[in-house]
Structure 1
Amino acid sequence: MNLTTTIDEKSAKAPGPFPNGHPSVLKRKVGVLLVNLGTPDGTDKKSMWRYLREFLSDPRVIEMPKVLWYPILYGIVLNTRPKKSGENYKKIWNTERDESPLRTYTRAQAEKLSEALRDLPDVVVDWGMRYGSPSTESAVNKLIAQGCDRIVMFPLYPQFSATTTATASDQLFRALMKIRAMPSVRTVPAYYDEPVYIEALARSIEQHLASLDFEPEMILASYHGIPKPYFERGDPYHCHCVKTTRLLRERLGMSDKKLMTTFQSRFGAQEWLQPYTDKTVERLAKEGVKSIAIVNPGFSSDCIETLEEIAGENAEIFHHAGGKNFSHIPCLNDSAEGMAVIEAITRRELMGWV
């Protein structure tokens, strides 16, 4: 005798009927939460101080005992850096929306992903920041208020680092610790070697190079750096970056003499991952290289580090050292190529829930 009983899936998940007086229950939904690094609310000193305090107080970012770091942070850094950082943000600020480009692009990515997933009516998309606003906690609360009892958190960092991906997860779970009816959660893994990501990067590079009136002699794949001791303690970030560049070379048919890995945005006196982007740019120019381009595969969206540091500061360094042609290749942002990556990975991570 066949004792297997077939249960209609929709009936098994049906929430009712409820007893009289039972509070209304929202239809169960799945939330998708895009999370990026963060942004100040303005370029003024107060906004920059608030943002930098939150960012630089994160023990994942600064792995130094508070008793040693906080006197430096509050005594020196937060008294000098906010003004300088504010001036740099002013150079790239989205004045039309009065916000940073990172916030503009992250919002656009969420809106376009929501539209792309319109065939999944029980999926709700929102976005938040690890530092600054909108906060991860506020985004989680919005999803829960819409009936989401499951959440897929998508950290928009292609390569994993404890300083980025891990701290985004930390912040998500801090928010969940305050919720009694806590939703189930999945976190999207790093996608540094995903074929859809490599293809999107390659196409964006090819399209940009085709638009130039010069051919770069060298292309730098510049990633945000981390202190070398973090790597020595086991952070896989360096390995992920190197693999992304290698896969890009293979896809583009370039050698390591044409496309090389460098690291930018170092902070403090300790050694960071090398080679440094700014030093490499200067060296190449002094060696007679006249034309270069820089791409930022570690950033899902253009931000202060790509628009001001690379397209601004490094262009000046190159020209000052004797270089002639410099071009910054935009990040994937909310382009068709960039959205193809986010959508493909999101749909995969939603499997079994929708």
Structure 2
Amino acid sequence: MKFHTEPQLSFEQQNKIGILLMNLGTPDAPTAEAVKPYLGQFLGDQRVVELPKLLWQPILRGVIMPFRSKASAHGYEKVWLNEGSPLAVFTQRQCEGLRARLPDDVFVEYAMTYNKPSVPNVLAKMKANGVGRLLVVPLYPQYAASSAGAALDKVLNELTKQRNQMSLRTVSRFYNHAGYIQAVAAQVKAYRAKHGAGDKLMFSFHGIPQFHHDKGDPYPHECRATAKLVAQELGLSDEQYIVSFQSQFGKGKWLTPSTQTLFDTLPKQGVKKLDVVCAGFMADCLETMEEIAIAGREQFHAAGGEQFHYIPCLNDNPDWLDALTDLVKDNLQGWLQYNL
């Protein structure tokens, strides 16, 4: 093991508190050339695809990356913002919003599990600025090994290379955090007050393979718990909302019900007006803006639906930034010598 060479700092200089927000990652541009290496990192992670490397890597590099990169790039073109990738733009704004709500001597940064800004580079920056106590917050309310687990792996692996290791705290999930639940409920309520309420509210979460759950991943339980808490906050009955799982990939069995399947079947069951909120995504991205807001709307209308409302993610909503600040403060107890 080769350890990093680190700056010589005094105890006072190397004991600052740092907050690291983590999100999935995004290509640098909406092009197949930029998407291809990003997909290689993402789908090459065994936390995401649990197949032996000797079996999966030839398929990934020879089939998946060349063809899926073109389709993904086309999707990114539809949602790309003037400032860049939506996921990167909103994650940066969340970082800035949190930084503004914390004391000046708390160092706040963000990194991506895949692509840039990378965990090694961001941790090196934090280390050089004297961070010796680190709180890592993956921006995934519901824990899945393929999302929060993969993000924490990157941090933990990098810490094994530090000669003078940081003290570490992590927030692996916050699916039932009161501030988060209230922020999602307020977002839904405000949207419906402006645009009207549909026949049913759909909570569409990112899917995972069924065998991940069978092996002990708690993700679907936490998704349903979040939906129930938000529904209670909104005063909805069980019949007024539904939980589904999107972004299925490959031919294996995934969590059900499928969001895309429901887009076809709900209109036939009398649900002509549908509201969709992606409460597990803390920032709008390809999976919410293209897969749900664009393709999902087209699919729902083609199946006989009359009204489709996509409710945006929390993004840089002040209610969510306040909740994120409370979450961070809760997990900094004992590290700060004064009252936050």
Identify whether the pair has TM-score above 0.5, normalized to the shorter chain. Answer: yes
Q: Does 1:287 align with 2:272?
A: no
Q: Secondary structure at the match of 1:192?
A: coil
The offset of 1:121, in angstroms, is 3.2
For residue 227 of structure 1, the aligned residue among 188, 201, 209 is 209
| 1:57 matched residue in structure 2 | 44
Q: Deviations over 1:123-171 (max 9, x none)?
A: 1101110011001111111111111111101100000010011111100
Q: Is the 8 A contact 2:14 2:127 kept in 1?
A: no
* Partner Cα separation in structure 2 for residue 353 and residue 215 of structure 1: 45
Structure 2 residue runs of 5 or longer lacking an equivalent are: 1-6
Q: Does 1:113 align with 2:98?
A: yes
The offset of 1:341, in angstroms, is 1.7
Q: Secondary structure at the match of 1:257?
A: helix
| 2:4 matched residue in structure 1 | none
* Partner Cα separation in structure 2 for residue 43 and residue 280 of structure 1: 29
| 1:91 matched residue in structure 2 | 78
Q: Secondary structure at the match of 2:114?
A: strand
User: Rg: which structure is higher?
Assistant: 1
The alignment yields a C-alpha RMSD, in angstroms, of: 1.3
For residue 236 of structure 1, the aligned residue among 205, 218, 221 is 218
| 1:351 matched residue in structure 2 | 333
* Partner Cα separation in structure 1 for residue 157 and residue 286 of structure 2: 27
| 1:146 matched residue in structure 2 | 129
* Partner Cα separation in structure 1 for residue 194 and residue 8 of structure 2: 59
The offset of 1:92, in angstroms, is 0.4
Q: Secondary structure at the match of 1:152?
A: strand
Q: Is the 8 A contact 1:28 1:122 kept in 2?
A: no
Q: Secondary structure at the match of 1:190?
A: coil
Residue correspondence of structure 1 range 164-203 to structure 2 within 5 A: 164-203=147-186
| 1:299 matched residue in structure 2 | 281
* Partner Cα separation in structure 1 for residue 79 and residue 209 of structure 2: 26
Structure 1 window deviating more from structure 2 (285-294 vs 310-319): it is 285-294
Change (3 A) 1:211 1:138: same
State the TM-score, normalized to the length of structure 1. 0.90
| 1:260 matched residue in structure 2 | 242
Query: Partner letter of residue 143 of structure 1?
Result: M
Query: Partner letter of residue 189 of structure 1?
Result: S
* Partner Cα separation in structure 2 for residue 337 and residue 36 of structure 1: 19
* Partner Cα separation in structure 1 for residue 9 and residue 242 of structure 2: 58
The offset of 1:23, in angstroms, is 5.6
Residue correspondence of structure 1 range 308-319 to structure 2 within 5 A: 308-319=290-301
